[in-house]
């Protein structure tokens, strides 16, 4: 994420864009829908910035869309400051869970409609207990 993919020191050689095999492959690729989302259903959570310049006691809603390898991905309608400690509170049935994480990456949503909806994505490294 965040890598400059426009420059490359690797040469792929000459491409014959009129090659029928290449055209068939490109037609097939047009219909592909690649989605890197975790198959786990999204979960409504409450978050608050717990440490740093922006720390406060106000909880705000967010959507937890992925959690794997010690990283949580949140959708919010506001940007989370890079490097801030965030408390994430979730409720599953009668069980409450609180986790802490540090914002390691953040960006506006890129999908159709994300900017109209004011969607921001944030990656949080979960702090171990």
CB 124 within 8 A of CB 72: yes
- In the structure, what pLDDT confidence band is assigned to residue 31 with cuts at 50, 70 and 90? confident
The pLDDT of residue 116 is: 83
Domains belonging to the chain, first-starting first, are 43-126 (2.40.10.220)
Which pLDDT score is estimated for 3? 53
1 contact partners, CB below 8 Å, separation of at least 6: 105, 123
pLDDT tens-digit map of 74-99 = 999 999 999 999 999 999 889 999 99
């Amino acid at each position: 994420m965040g890598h400059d993919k426009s420059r490359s020191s690797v040469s792929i050689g000459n491409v014959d864009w009129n090659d029928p095999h290449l055209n068939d492959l490109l037609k097939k690729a047009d219909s592909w829908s690649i989605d890197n989302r975790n198959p786990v259903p999204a979960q409504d959570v409450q978050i608050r910035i717990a440490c740093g310049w922006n720390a406060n006691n106000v909880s705000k809603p967010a959507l937890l869309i992925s959690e794997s390898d010690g990283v949580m991905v949140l959708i919010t309608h506001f940007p989370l400051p890079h490097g801030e400690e965030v408390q994430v509170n979730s409720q599953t049935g009668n069980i409450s869970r609180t986790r802490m994480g540090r914002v390691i990456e953040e960006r506006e949503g890129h999908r159709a409609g994300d900017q109209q909806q004011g969607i921001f994505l944030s990656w949080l490294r979960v702090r171990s207990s």
